[in-house]
Structure 1
C-alpha cells in the first residue's frame, strides 16, 4: 500500500503496490502526445506494482470518446484534451446531455498551453468577426469534424455559430478532418483560405501565420461558452503569431488524466505520484523545444498538476496534499 507522506516530511512517499495489476489506459490515435503520456504512466507504474502487472494503452481520439470510455467503465484511465471540456460530463451539459458521469474523477493534469484560433487569409482584408459578418465571404474553412466527439470540431462549431458566421450559407465550404495536420496542410497548400484549430505550437502555424489575420473572439461569445459549458478563454501572447498583437480566444489547454471514483485509492495515489515525481521522464522528450512551442509546457509543476476542473480522486488528492508547500 502507498503511504501519504514521506517519513522524513519531504517528498510524498513512493508507492509500492504488491499485487499484480491488469490495467487499461486510453490515449490518442497512436503517435501523438496522449499516447506518450500513457507510455510514461505505464512504465513508471509497472515498476512499482506486482511482477505480473500488465498495462495496455488503447487507441482513442482523446476527446469526448475518452471521457465516455472511462465513464462507462471500458478503461480504467484515459486522457482527454482540453481539460476544461470534461467538466460538462459531470452534470450532463452540452454533448453529455444524454449520458452524464457524476463519478468522473481526475488523477492530475499534464499542462499544455494551447488555444483555439480563428484565422482568415489576408487577401480578404478581414480583421474581426464584425467585418466577417458584414462581408460574408465564401470561405473554404479548414477545421475538424463536428460529430459530437471531436472537441476541435465541437468548439469551432460553437464559436462560429455564436459569432453569427454561416460558412455554408454564405456559399463557402467546410474542409473537415480529424487531426490538425490535415487542416494546416489545407491552408499551406491553398485548398483553404480560413482555419479554426488548435495545436498552436506546431511549426506549420508559423509558416502559414504570416498570410493570415487572426480574429479575436468577441466577449459575449466567450462569456456564453463559459456560462453554458464552463469553457474558459485565454490570451494569445503578443507576437506569438507573426506580427500579431495579443488577442483573446478560447482556451484549449491541458491534458486531463481521468478515471472513476471506484478506482482503488492506492492505485490513484500511485498514478498521481508518477505524474508529479517522475515528471523528468516526460519532460526529457520535449526539451529540444522551447517551452512556449512545446506540446507539453515544461517544467511541470506538481502543484499545478493537482488543479483540475474535475474533482480529484481521493487517492490522487492524498498525493497533491502531501506535496511540500512551495
Structure 2
C-alpha cells in the first residue's frame, strides 16, 4: 500500500434533502448530550438547507433504548453499551418488550467500571468477609427502578453476591446521578458505595479510605451468561493504594437507531463519528485520556465494533476503513 492509497478515507456524505431528526441524549449537561450536539452540528452541515435536529433529554439508560425501539426518536445514546444486547431478545429489564430491530451506528469510547467499595473502618476487603460480617452498611448507589443501569447493575451484583443491606439492618441511599452518591460518601453519610464514572476525581478524593471488592468469578460469569454484561479489570493504582481487581465492565456510549433508519442517514452519522472526531476530542484533551469521560484518541475501526448488529448504512462506513 503506497502513501496515496493509505490516505484515502470513506467518502464524505452529502444528503440533498432536508431532514427532521430526533435524537435523545442524557439529562442535559453530561457527555451523551454533548455527543448528540456534535452529531447534530456535523450532520446538519451535510444535509439539505432546512434540516432540523432536536435533542431530547433522557436518562441515557433503558429509557433511551425503549425510545428508539418504540420509534419515539430516530437515534439515542445509552451507556454502558453492552447492556443494550439484552434488548434484542428481551432479557432482564427488557423481558416482555424486546427490540430485535435495534442497530448500532457506532460506539463512543468511555473506559469505565462499576465498582463496589467499602470504607476501611468496616474491616472487610472481600465479598466473603462481607457476608461473614453482615455489617449494617450505609450504602450509596443509584435508584433501582428498571431504568437506571447503575442501580440495576448494583442491585443485581449485590444480590448475586449474597449481600442484603436492608436485611442486615443497613440503609440504601439511592439517587439518580453519581454526584449525589459521591456527596454522601464525602460527607460521611455512606460507608459503602456501588457506582461507575471511575474516571471522575471524586474517587481519588475518597478512594484511599476504601477497600474495593473484587467481584467473584461465579457472579461475573452469571451476569455475562444471563444478560451479556462483560467484566473487566481495574489496574493496580488506579484508585489510591488499591491493587488490581476484576469487576463489572461499564464502558462506552452506544449510538443506536432502528433498522428502518435510512441507509444514507446511518452512513452519514457513522461518518461523522469517525471522520470529525476531532470536534469531540478537543473538548476533552485538557484531561488525561485515562481520566477523561471520553477516552481519546477515538479509533474509527474500534467505534464500529458494537455489542449489537451495525445498521447496514453504518457498516458501509466502517467496512470502507
Aligned to 1:38: 36
Map 1:238-257 → 2, pairs under 5 A: 238-257=236-255
Please state whether the residue corresponding to 2:116 is helix, strand or coil.
strand
**Shift in Å, 1:7:** 10
User: Which residue, out of 124, 130, 146, partners 1:126?
Assistant: 124
**Runs of at least 4 residues off by over 4 Å:** 6-9
User: Which residue, out of 209, 220, 223, partners 2:221?
Assistant: 223
Aligned to 2:63: 65
Contact persistence 1:7–1:13 (CA under 8 A): no
- Alignment deviations for residues 291-326 of structure 1 (CA, whole Å, 9 cap, x no partner): 000000000000000000010000000000000xxx
In structure 1, distance between residues paired with 2:307 and 2:10:
23
Q: Does 1:155 align with 2:142?
A: no
In structure 1, distance between residues paired with 2:286 and 2:124:
36
**Shift in Å, 1:125:** 1.1
**Shift in Å, 1:8:** 9.6
User: Which residue, out of 278, 281, 291, partners 1:280?
Assistant: 278
User: Which residue, out of 11, 14, 19, partners 2:12?
Assistant: 14
Q: How many residues align?
A: 318
In structure 1, distance between residues paired with 2:218 and 2:131:
15
- Alignment deviations for residues 126-172 of structure 1 (CA, whole Å, 9 cap, x no partner): 10000000000000000000001000000001100000000000000
Structure 2: state its 5+ residue gaps.
none
Aligned to 1:3: none
Aligned to 2:96: 98
Aligned to 2:54: 56
Aligned to 2:184: 186
**Shift in Å, 1:175:** 0.1
- Alignment deviations for residues 225-248 of structure 1 (CA, whole Å, 9 cap, x no partner): 000000000000110000101100
Structure 1: state its 5+ residue gaps.
1-5
In structure 1, distance between residues paired with 2:60 and 2:301:
24
Aligned to 1:210: 208
**Shift in Å, 1:195:** 0.2
- Alignment deviations for residues 33-89 of structure 1 (CA, whole Å, 9 cap, x no partner): 000000000000000000000000000000000000000000000000000000000
Please state whether the residue corresponding to 2:279 is helix, strand or coil.
helix
Aligned to 1:141: 139
* Cα RMSD, aligned residues only: 1.1
